[in-house]
Amino acid sequence: MTPTRGSGARMAPEYIERFSRTERAVHWVHAVAFLVLLATGLALYLPSLSQLIGRRPLLKDAHVYTAVGWIAALVLVVVLGDRRRLRETVREFDRFDLDDVLWLQRYPTPQGRFNAGQKVNAALTAAFAVLFAVSGSLLWLGERDHRFQFASTIILHDWLTLISLILFVGHLYLALIYPATRHSLRGITTGSVRRDWAERHHPKWAREQR
Amino acid sequence: MKPRETRTYGRRAFLGVTAVGLSSLVWGRTAWDAFVAVAPPGLISGWRIYTVAATMPQFDPASWRLNIDGLVGSPQSITYDELRALPSAEQVSSFHCVTGWTVPDVHWRGVRFADLLASAEPSAAARVLTFTSAEKPYVDTLSLQQAQLADVMLAYEMDGQPLAREHGAPVRVVIPEMYGYKGVKWVERITLGADAQPGYWEQRGYDTDAWIGRSNGA
């Protein structure tokens, strides 16, 4: 028997897969690394926190080694994971159709697996990851070899932190609090989402899922 | 744009943001300095607190002493009140860190080294001052000549307030001509000697003479 929607009977909701294990791994590698880097970074950066916590050399090592671990883990996920699926996902993030463009202008057009806002967030997150990695590496190398020292590196690293903190708060709000989107948290943790939710918020994708 | 058509806005956003970010390595400092110049005073402090030990030293006015020893005729152990009673000097200068940040117009008050060292009667052989911090194992040096530059001092006030703990309470070295790592914080001992041993950061590859814009690969 195939469960149908709106039949009135109490039945288990039907789930469809939104994120593969590889996609979830990429997300959670980023999430965990970001949180540790943010916490150690703020403790290094804010004078009041520095004074409260101290242990600067230890925090600095934790910050640097977490960054190295973050990049290594990403490489590992790409090498061991489902690369074809990742390429498809990147393609989805890249391509904007007319519905996406209109959605960004606040027209309620039907969306695919990712709405246009999620696509913009993905592009920004990827760019910030590159810029964090480059500026962080330059800060680290600059301490050892003055040829890598630029007066603006620390300014770039600071501004990335500030802007990504704002994006992160918005991301948490949409993932944990905002009623229309918070079900997506289930997707990024278990992989699957309710079909009825997907049909409401991501109809162009949900219709293709059998 | 037609309904079925797609455009690669995702990669354009990614590449655009990455390019702007990377190019800011060239223009970021100029833009930031221009912003700081027009920002309301007090909005941006600009200070970053760099430490090397697990905790910052805690200043106790009752037990604190500044020891002056080495090549001197009369070693000194000065209390905080005695230090404050010495002739004081003031200056306003920009503070430059070797890692690239700057705090403009910092108001310092303290004691010039000529006044500080007079009672210890430095011997003619003394060439170098070694500053030992209460934050172990931080140490650094200035030549006696560098320490006599016009606005060099052992500072006990910053911007009209007694030096805060994170800025080196109760006293730190201030030499605006050099990067901040030469300005030892939490100074508890000044030793006069004939030559300089490498300081904390000099043991880690930084220059002994840290002239702003003329050292550390600049």
Q: Where are the domains of chain A?
A: 19-203
CA distance B180 to chain A (A): 15
Q: How many domains does chain B have?
A: 2
Q: Determine the topology of domain A19-203 in CATH.
A: Fumarate Reductase Cytochrome B subunit (1.20.950)
Is B92 found in the same domain as B191? yes
**A13 has pLDDT over 90:** no
* B165 neighbourhood in chain A, CB within 8 Å: 51
Who has greater pLDDT, A50 or A74? A74
* A167 neighbourhood in chain B, CB within 8 Å: none
- The Cα–Cα gap between A49 and A56 comes to 11
The mean pLDDT of A199-206, rounded to a whole number, is 96
Q: What is the pTM of this model?
A: 0.84
- The Cα–Cα gap between A53 and B195 comes to 37
Is B111 found in the same domain as B156? yes
Q: Is A167 on the interface with B (CB under 8 A)?
A: no
Is B191 found in the same domain as B156? yes
Residue B42: which pLDDT band, with cuts at 50, 70 and 90? low
The pLDDT value given to residue A49: 84
A50 → closest Cβ in B18, B27, B51? B51
B165 → closest Cβ in A51, A97, A146? A51
**B79 has pLDDT over 60:** yes
**A6 has pLDDT over 80:** no
The mean pLDDT of A1-29, rounded to a whole number, is 79
Q: Would you say how long chain A is, in residues?
A: 210
Is B197 found in the same domain as B109? yes
Please report the residues numbered 77 through 106 in chain A whose beta carbons come closer than 8 angstroms to any beta carbon of chain B. Answer: 93-101
Range list of H helices, B91-205 = 113-117, 144-147
A54 → closest Cβ in B10, B17, B54? B54
The pLDDT value given to residue A10: 62
- The Cα–Cα gap between B155 and A45 comes to 24
**A185 has pLDDT over 90:** yes
Is B183 found in the same domain as B86? yes
DSSP assigned state of B178: B
With a cut of 0.90, is the ipTM above it?
A: yes
Is B105 found in the same domain as B159? yes
CATH number at residue B105: 3.90.420.10
B217 → closest Cβ in A93, A149, A153? A149
Q: If you average pLDDT over each of A148-162, B88-102, B113-127, which comes out highest?
A: B113-127
pLDDT digits (tens, 9 = 90+) for B5-18: 999 999 999 999 99
- Is B57 inside any structural domain? no
**A90 has pLDDT over 50:** yes
Residue A143: which pLDDT band, with cuts at 50, 70 and 90? confident
* B7 neighbourhood in chain A, CB within 8 Å: 95-97
CB pair distance less than 8 Å for B99 and A122: no
Residue A1: which pLDDT band, with cuts at 50, 70 and 90? very low
Q: Is A51 on the interface with B (CB under 8 A)?
A: yes
* Domain hosting residue B25, numbered range: 8-44
* Percent of the residues in chain A that have a pLDDT greater than 70, as a whole number: 95
Who has greater pLDDT, B193 or A46? B193
Is B14 found in the same domain as B97? no
* A139 neighbourhood in chain B, CB within 8 Å: 99
- Is B210 inside any structural domain? no
- Is B73 inside any structural domain? yes
The pLDDT value given to residue A148: 87
- Is B40 inside any structural domain? yes
Mean pLDDT, chain A, rounded, equals 92
* A100 neighbourhood in chain B, CB within 8 Å: 9
B24-58 CB burial, b ≥16 within 10 A, e <16? bbeebbeebeeeeeeeeeeeeeebbbbbebeebbe
Q: Is A107 on the interface with B (CB under 8 A)?
A: no
- The Cα–Cα gap between B3 and B198 comes to 70
**A25 has pLDDT over 90:** yes
The pLDDT value given to residue A5: 52
- Nearest-CA residue of chain B relative to A124? B14
The mean pLDDT of A52-65, rounded to a whole number, is 92
The pLDDT value given to residue B218: 65
E strand or H helix that includes residue A141: helix A116-144
Is B88 found in the same domain as B192? yes
CB pair distance less than 8 Å for A155 and B10: no
Q: Which of A146, A158, A164, A167 to mutate to test the interface with B (most CBs of B within 10 A)?
A: A146
Is B34 found in the same domain as B116? no
Query: Hey, what are B103's tokens?
Result: 């705090």
Extract the runs of DSSP E, i.e. beta strands, from A15-54: 15-17
B165 and A51 in contact (C-beta within 8 Å)? yes
